[in-house]
Amino acid sequence: MAARNKDVITVARNRRAKYDYEIVDTYEAGLQLTGTEVKSLREGHATIAEGYVQVKGREAWLVGAYIPEYAYGNINNHPPRRDRKLLLHRHQLDRLAAKLKEQGFSAVPMSIYFKQGKAKLEFGLGKGKKKYDKRQAEREKQAKKAMRDAW
């Protein structure tokens, strides 16, 4: 189900985000959701691994995330892969739009969680790692583990 930490209830996490991208900056944004989407999230159902954040006009959108239909919903249930609007301050949105226009930067969703009853998305702004960068990071991780085990 969902992991609990004080007032934060984690629903979905993209564990490959830090492996595939070098995260430079992180943002926290509110999600504009329908009622059945909130109910589905509260049950712990969501996948954000295939999603990304995109700026269209003067708004930020979460594209490609999967929130399944609510099991007890009726005909007014939501489409599972619809684009969802992100709620950001204007200065955050302007900075994000400027960075995304730079070569190589992507906005990658890292986790969806409830904070004080409100659905939030944490996403990172980063550059994609090359294959050799991933291997180097793996070597460093194994070296740290070996040193820790030596104690």
**CATH code at 122?**
2.40.280.10
pTM comes to 0.80
**DSSP assignment letter at 38:** H
DSSP 102: S
Distance CA 134, CA 34 (A): 38
Q: What contacts 31, CB < 8 A, 6 or more positions away?
A: 62, 84, 85, 86, 87, 112, 119, 120, 121
Handedness of CA 46, 25, 117, 86 (dihedral sign): negative
Residue by residue, pLDDT tens for the chain (151 residues) are 566 666 888 998 998 888 888 888 999 999 999 888 999 999 988 999 999 999 998 999 999 999 999 888 888 888 889 899 999 999 999 999 999 988 888 899 999 999 998 999 999 998 887 887 788 888 988 999 999 888 7
Domain carrying residue 20: 3-150
Three-state secondary-structure class, residue 128? strand
CA–CA separation, 30 and 59 (whole Å): 12
The total of structural domains in the chain comes to 1
Sign of the torsion formed by the C-alpha atoms of 126, 132, 138 and 144: negative
Q: For strands 105-115 and 118-128, give the pairing.
A: antiparallel
At 4 the pLDDT is: 60
Mean pLDDT taken over the chain: 88
